[in-house]
Amino acid sequence: MNGQISIIIPVYNRGYCLSRCLDSVLNQRYTNWECILVDDASTDDSLQICNLYLKKDSRFHLTAQPENAGVSVARNRGMELAKGEYITFIDSDDWVEPDYLFLLYQAVGKDTIPLCGMSVHDSSGVFKYSHEIEDKTYRLDDGATEFLLEHLISGLIASPTSRLYSRGIIEEYHLRFQPGINWGEDLIFNCTYFKYIDNLRCIATPLYHVVKQDDSLSRQRQSQLYCCDLSLLDDDMKIWHGIDGFLKEKGICNKKMNRFMQWYYIFLHGTLLSFLYTKPVVPAKTRFHFVRNVIKNLDRDILNVTVLFRLRLPVRYYLIYYRMPLLLWSLYELKLMVKKGTHRKMFHF
């Protein structure tokens, strides 16, 4: 056993479940690890719990952020302090099986990232479902298309957990999580990392247990949508361009993947509008300007109208493509009035 693994765990107000996570680290069969706990200015007893584990085992290390800066900043701080040959991230809600590090380390190879299956649990720890994968090595080329299509947007590929990263690659190419992005920073990081490796080595066993929380991040995004915050579209486009850059770097440009990327591009625009109308808190005029700006930001050079029609998308996506904001807005407003059971006059221009 030689290569040290740095485990990075961002911590923020998870005192009620943190011990489960840290106990699972202590129980690892693979013992050559260090665990960097990054407390992101917790206001509960998380910091005290971290200090208890520092006393239990000298392989635990703690750094405390002076103010809450978000998970991306916390992970970046952990990477700055890491000394291991490899890095793995564990979220403080989650826990891992005793063989987690051992089996991932066994699967390490040149230009290869090993990742394992995950089981998903609710906030009470009750099992919900698994991300199932085969014991298989995928070369990152056209042959991996089906695997990528299945898992690219799911938690498996997008997540930074359940895998080992080479710290050498991270440092050589100065890879970091982008702070200030409301969601998708994990997927952007992974797509950038994938440019510098050749293979994904999958371990079917669900060694990583994810706990899905209804946390403030999702509520913050919903609040921004309700208030017509156009910066969310910028975040979505960073995700799309991150995936697109990785695929082009690896030469994965077959018809099936191209269709997916076109669907995903226009889907991101349409989804923003759909969420806006789930609980609008701004006037109709403001909603119209948001619809118009979303459409205005669409780059039609990315899209092929023939492909779009073959996808048989809902009507709203074609209204986005053909830049018809007034008609699209009117349809959304009508749908909203029907939903509310009101007969108020629509906004006049």
320 Cβ contact list (under 8 Å, min separation 6): 266, 269, 270, 273, 294, 295, 298, 328
Minimum mean pLDDT among 16-20, 136-140, 176-180, 266-270: which range? Answer: 266-270
Q: Comparing C-alpha atoms, which of 100, 3, 81, 85 is closest to residue 37?
A: 81
Q: What is the CATH number of the domain that holds 176?
A: 3.90.550.10
Structure confidence at residue 346 as a pLDDT band (50, 70, 90): very low
- For 202, half-sphere exposure in the C-beta direction (CA atoms, 13 angstrom radius) is 19
Q: pTM here?
A: 0.86
Is residue 274 over pLDDT 80?
no
Q: Does some domain include residue 112?
A: yes
21-25, 67-71, 223-227, 237-241: range with highest mean pLDDT = 21-25
Is residue 30 over pLDDT 90?
yes
- The confidence score (pLDDT) of residue 1 equals 43
Looking at the fold, whether 182 and 266 belong to one and the same domain comes out as no
Is residue 348 over pLDDT 50?
no
Looking at the fold, whether 270 and 207 belong to one and the same domain comes out as no
Is residue 272 over pLDDT 80?
no
- For 313, half-sphere exposure in the C-beta direction (CA atoms, 13 angstrom radius) is 25
Q: Does some domain include residue 243?
A: no
Q: Does some domain include residue 241?
A: no
Q: Are 162 and 208 in contact (CB under 8 A)?
A: yes
pLDDT digits (tens, 9 = 90+) for 17-29: 999 999 999 999 9
pLDDT digits (tens, 9 = 90+) for 303-339: 888 888 888 888 888 888 888 989 988 988 888 788 7
Give the single-character DSSP code of 75.
Answer: H
**Measured CA distances, 194 to 67, 173, 188, 242, 245 (Å):** 32, 12, 10, 10, 10
Looking at the fold, whether 150 and 288 belong to one and the same domain comes out as no
Q: Which two tokens stand for residue 31?
A: 């013992």
- For residue 127, give its domain range: 5-220
Structure confidence at residue 152 as a pLDDT band (50, 70, 90): confident
Looking at the fold, whether 128 and 199 belong to one and the same domain comes out as yes
Looking at the fold, whether 75 and 141 belong to one and the same domain comes out as yes
Looking at the fold, whether 258 and 206 belong to one and the same domain comes out as no
- The confidence score (pLDDT) of residue 151 equals 87
Looking at the fold, whether 193 and 319 belong to one and the same domain comes out as no
